[in-house]
Amino acid sequence: MLHVDFLEINADSNVTGVATLNLVGRSVPEQQGLGSTLLVINSIEISGRPDDLVSELEVNAEIIDKPSRNLLVSDLVVPEGVTVLTTSDLTVARFAPNRKAAVESEEEGLGGELDSSAAEE
């Protein structure tokens, strides 16, 4: 059984919808071979006139210029006429260091107290 609802929408009124997020590009740390950039959420809620709404938004990973930088909802570029309803301080994408980079970073934080054999375990 299939059920379909048809709604009449006023073209001059704002409606809400969901835009899927697509990660594009590579973060600076990823380009340096330090790990991967991960999309944390898959979509956001948006509002606007029906003609202005989009089904997808690109998330530019290049904004992540260092491993500690997270890309937030407030960093997203949305088309004119579209308002983001999702909380602006929510993390959209982040950098995840590979295991070797994480161990090296830990060693640096300890002032080099670990020797290389301990780091490989």
Cα–Cα distance measured from residue 63 to residue 110, given in angstroms and rounded to the nearest whole number: 29
Name the CATH superfamily, with its identifier, for domain 15-120: Ribosomal protein L25, C-terminal domain (2.170.120.20)
106-117 pLDDT, tens per residue? 666 655 444 444
- What pTM did the predictor assign? 0.75
Cβ pair 91, 55 in contact under 8 A: no
Cα–Cα distance measured from residue 45 to residue 114, given in angstroms and rounded to the nearest whole number: 46
pLDDT value at residue 91: 97
25-70 pLDDT, tens per residue? 999 999 999 999 999 999 999 999 999 999 999 999 999 999 999 9
pLDDT value at residue 118: 44
Which amino acid type is present at position 70? N
Cα–Cα distance measured from residue 26 to residue 3, given in angstroms and rounded to the nearest whole number: 42
